[in-house]
Amino acid sequence: MEISSFIVLGLLIVVLVYLIMIYNSLVRLKHNVSKAWSNIDVLMKQRHDELPKLVETCKQYMRYEQETLERVMHARSAVAAARETSNVGALGTAETQLRMGLGQLFAVAEAYPELKASDSFTHLHSRISGLENAIADRREFYNESVNVNNIRIEQFPDIIVARWLGFNAHELLEFSEGEKKDVDVKTLFS
């Protein structure tokens, strides 16, 4: 064999190894996104299981706040439906509604001293608040994983491998601006 044949063969091997490295990197990023989503999903399932207990505890004390309780349960159902279908856009909207409903529920609970003194309510409130904080942390991790994945599949030469092998962009999990506002307690009691 000639030297030029060795050079061509060597270049082909280098290109092949480089493409394999890109592929393996894209696979790792895709699985990081899946793992981050699974972390959020586990926490949402736990919260999903706790919310009926909280609403039932509140029902015992809050005879006149049926609308607030129904809003929380409706939002809970919307979150579950979006989570089951992995619809990130719908999940963001449903999560916003749920978080706003929980904020209103906890604000309304302030008017019921017996409820606030209940051990069951106190435990559920702290449990759900802890889950909310954990979901927020996991959402940040998920969005970072999605961002790294999406940037990588758009960069050259990774874009060639990504398109050729069907690697797709993922949607960020975002909540609306309404969730970030404090609950206006005055409007709840007027």
pLDDT number for residue 190: 37
- For residue 164, what are its two tokens? 């050729």
d(CA 25, CA 19): 10
- Which residue has tokens 């793992």? 35
Q: What is the pTM of this model?
A: 0.71
pLDDT of residue 147: 93
* pLDDT at residue 182 in the model: 46
Between the alpha carbon of residue 142 and those of residues 2, 41, 103, the distances in Å are: 52, 11, 24
For residue 184, what are the CA distances in angstroms to 8, 92, 100? Answer: 71, 22, 11
Instruction: Walk along the chain (190 residues) and give the pLDDT tens digit of each residue.
Output: 688 888 999 999 999 999 999 999 999 999 999 999 999 889 888 888 888 888 888 877 776 677 778 888 888 888 888 888 888 888 888 888 888 888 888 887 887 777 777 788 888 888 888 888 898 889 899 999 999 999 999 989 889 889 999 999 998 888 765 544 444 444 433 3
pLDDT of residue 178: 52
Of the candidates 172, 173, 134, the residue with the CA atom closest to the CA atom of residue 39: 134
All domains of the chain in start order, with CATH: 41-188 (1.20.1440.20)
> String of b and e for 161-188 (b: at least 16 CB within 10 Å)?
bbeeeebeebeebbbeeeeeeebeeeeb
d(CA 29, CA 107): 41
Contact 58, 109 (CB under 8 A): yes
How many angstroms separate the most distant Cα atoms in the chain? 91
Region for residue 166 given its phi and psi (left: phi exceeds 0; alpha: psi -120 to 50; beta: otherwise) = left
Q: How high is the pLDDT of residue 36? A: 92
- Asked if 41 contacts 83 with a C-beta cutoff of 8 angstroms, the reply is yes
Structure confidence at residue 141 (pLDDT): 92
Q: What is the pLDDT of residue 63?
A: 66
pLDDT of the residue at 180: 46
pLDDT of residue 188: 38
Query: Positive or negative CA dihedral for 149, 151, 155, 159?
Result: positive
What the block records as the tokens of 190 is 């007027």
Rg (CA), the chain: 24
